[in-house]
Structure 1
Amino acid sequence: MDAASAALPVSSDALLAQLTEWGLSYTLFTHVPLRTVEEAKQVEAEMQQPGVSSLKIKNLYLRDRKKRNYLISVEQDREIDLKALSKEIGSGGLSFGSSDRLMQNLGILPGAVSPLAMITGVDQGVTFYLDAAARQVDVINMHPLVNDRTVVMARDDFFAFLERIGCDLHWI
């Protein structure tokens, strides 16, 4: 485990061990650190399985003017208009949360934002929204709390993860 992962409240290895203990399957890929959608697209081909539909996501950690925190996970090529998103989720004045708040509320560093961070976010009151496109896919690609790894997890196993940690799933 590297120093960055060791500093997390829940390490990537601990998360993966928990998924395994719960009987949730995934395929783990290790790669160069990815910070942008463009970088992710460079390594996605090796993760694609023939005949399996996947959702490749980008993740936004946002805060509103009432200091409520949100994790928004959408299809990676989806355009995001923060004003329209504010209306859609019924929250005014959305802006990006700071790296300090990201660590405090999701237990991760910038560049590693992931729905799997809700393992910490649930206890911090973070509200999670997922792209409705997830209803139509077989698997979802996400970082396991660090950005030099990606897990490809069956949609139903991901939903079971959310249920296990007590995370309410909101659709967008």
Structure 2
Amino acid sequence: MPKTPDELLAFLESLGIAVTTKQHPPLFTVADSQSLRGEIAGGHTKNLFLKDKKDNFFLVTVDEDAEVDLKQIHHLIGASSRVSFGKPEALMELLGVVPGSVTVFGLINDSDKRVKLVLDSALMDNDVINAHPLTNEATTTIGRDDLLTFVEATGHEPLVLKVSG
């Protein structure tokens, strides 16, 4: 069973990571989430769950306004071929979330370490970063360095690259 948002927050607390979480109506797109601007400071994420032809999976996390060239990104992230979006079944199996709730925090559910995380360097210029806590009905604000601590605590090695145009 995938972890719940409460289990995620308890895990963060066990790491000594302080976060704030704001509940809100479900947000399915970046456009939906932009209605919260002014209420939640920091960098806001857009997440791309991608796979290559060899079933290697990638979670690419960028700033909400970033433009990513999906025809070329495979060269940057180490994919074996051009990438496509991963299917909802794989998203649930690997990250424990549904489309519309894709988040870097989903790595807590990837116990087999099948997903390679790519963080856009422009996003990492923010002191604080916002992401869904496994549900699109809330936004969790976390410090940039604390986010890296979380990722490493899940057993993943974050790859910080310039992937946005």
**Do Structure 1 and Structure 2 share a fold, with TM-score over 0.5?**
yes
Q: Matched residues in 2 for 1:111 and 1:103: separation?
A: 12
1:134–1:155 CA contact under 8 A, matched in 2: no
**Superposed displacement of residue 90, structure 1:** 2.8
Pairing 1:135–2:124 present:
yes
Say yes or no: does 1:47 pair with 2:40.
yes
Structure-2 residue corresponding to 1:93: 82
How far did 1:156 drift?
Answer: 1.2
Bigger helix share: 1
Which consecutive residues of structure 1, in runs of 5 or more, have no partner in the other structure? 1-7, 49-53
Equivalent residue number for residue 21 of structure 1: 14
1:33 to 26, 33, 36: 26
Q: Identity, % of aligned pairs?
A: 38
SS at match of 2:48: strand
- Name the stretch that deviates more: 19-28 or 116-125: 116-125
Q: CA deviation at 1:82?
A: 0.9
Q: Give me the TM-score of the superposition, normalised by structure 1.
A: 0.88
* Number of aligned residues: 160
3-state DSSP of counterpart to 1:83:
coil
Give secondary structure in 2 for the equivalent of 1:46. Answer: coil
The residue that corresponds to 2:149 in the other structure is 160
Superimposed CA distance per residue, residues 33-72 of structure 1 (whole angstroms, 9 cap, x where no aligned partner): 0110100100132112xxxxx2211001011011101100
Could you tell me which amino acid in structure 2 is paired with residue 153 of structure 1?
A: I
Deviations 1:46-105 (A, max 9, x none): 112xxxxx2211001011011101100011111121111112113212000111110011
The alignment status of 1:123 with 2:112, answered yes or no, reads yes
Q: Would you say 1:67 and 2:55 are equivalent positions?
A: yes
Shift of residue 166, structure 1, vs aligned partner? 1.4
Gaps of 5+ in 2: none
Q: Distance in 1 between matches of 2:123 and 2:63?
A: 8
